[in-house]
Amino acid sequence: MAEPFKNLGWDDFRLIKAVADARGLPAAAAAIGVNHSTVFRRLKQIEESLGSALFERHRTGYALTPAGEEMVALANRLDEEITAAARKLAGREPAPSGELRVTTPDSLLIHLLMPMLATFRERYPEVRLDIVLSNQALNLSKRDADVAVRATDHPPENLVGRRVARIAWALYGRAQDFPAPGEVTKDQLDARNWVSLGDTLGALKAVKFVQENVAPERVAYKINSVLGLAEAVEAGLGIGHIPCLIGDSRPSLVRLAPPDDDYAADLWLLTHPDLRHSPRVRAFLDFLAVEIARHRRFIEGEAGHQREAPLPEAGRETMT
């Protein structure tokens, strides 16, 4: 049985797995970055080499045969082993260098991380940053990202990292609409239009508050982005709960109530256990932990506390 496998490489197993996942050739071709005809031709060659059909062609798509199921199972095992080997090799680098893929939401990138990333690059010019903006948790086990900067109270158990702050949320409105924000009454708030994160984020307490306490006809705008939510408040679409690090950084917005700890979320720096000793990963995590600590009072919504300016290089802490 070993003879038919002599001419098969990892790309062939990737192709088989892609066709199985997509149940068709066009989507499989797009997933692995080749054209449709290449997938068709190579799949035919693989099946001829193995002497077995891997797929049954139906009008609804490609369905695996028993032989195909065995090949996909083998492809999955190879994928896991290759990924594990890549993680371990990445953890043995002699110095901070190479590409570092970081995933984070757009709101954290723009209102917190961007100046820190610029300073990190000045200190570690051999590390190239690849930033993946996503509000969804990427698979760090699959190396979709090396580091995740996330707001969550329940980080995945298969990752390691550190909690660096707690992100405060409060109710905000436009300053021009609330000249005396400290004197706003509940009746005034009830009479206003509201903006909210969408129902797909209904597990968040800020979203539940709107669902349970605001009349549906008063919810003028929903969006699945925290950054977009802040933009909506600033544009005058309504009042809404947003992180204090966003609201307090915009002069056109004012707090209409103190931060509510029920809406707060921990800020985590996360990576896979196999990568935590990688020089570039460790340098990045240590650097961000120090930088974020300097802005912790701002992130946690302490009244009147503004974001600090970057320290000059000579005054910065040395990582060990």
Domain boundaries, the chain: 10-90, 96-305
The CA distance from 82 to 237, in Å, is: 49
Fold category of 96-305 in CATH: D-Maltodextrin-Binding Protein; domain 2 (3.40.190)
Residues 276-310 pLDDT 10s = 888 999 999 999 999 999 999 999 998 654 555 44
Across the range 150-174, mean pLDDT stands at 92
Q: 10-90 belongs to which CATH class?
A: mainly alpha
Taking the CA of residue 189 as centre, how many other CA atoms within 13 Å lie in the half-sphere pointing to its CB? 19
Lowest mean pLDDT of 144-148, 210-214, 219-223, name the range: 144-148
The CA distance from 230 to 214, in Å, is: 18
pLDDT on residue 287? 94
Q: Do 10-90 and 96-305 fold alike per CATH?
A: no
Residues 225-279 pLDDT 10s = 999 999 999 999 999 999 999 999 999 999 999 999 999 999 999 998 888 888 9
pLDDT on residue 139? 53
Regarding predicted confidence, which is higher, 83 or 177? 177
- Report the mean per-residue pLDDT for the chain: 85
The CA distance from 212 to 208, in Å, is: 6
pLDDT on residue 166? 95
pLDDT on residue 1? 44
**CA-closest candidate to residue 266, choices 172, 158, 170, 168:** 168
pLDDT on residue 143? 59
The CA distance from 113 to 103, in Å, is: 11
Q: What pTM does this model have?
A: 0.66
Q: Return the exposure string of 33-62: e unless at least 16 CB atoms fall within 10 Å of the residue's CB, then b.
A: eeeeeebeeebeebbeebeeebbeeeeeeb
Long-range contacts of 285-289 (CB under 8 A, 24+ apart): 285/147, 285/161, 285/162, 286/319, 286/320, 287/116, 287/120, 287/123, 287/124, 287/319, 288/113, 288/116, 288/120, 288/149, 288/164, 289/162, 289/164
What band does 31 get if pLDDT is binned at 50, 70 and 90?
confident
Cα end-to-end span (Å), the chain: 53
The CA distance from 249 to 142, in Å, is: 36
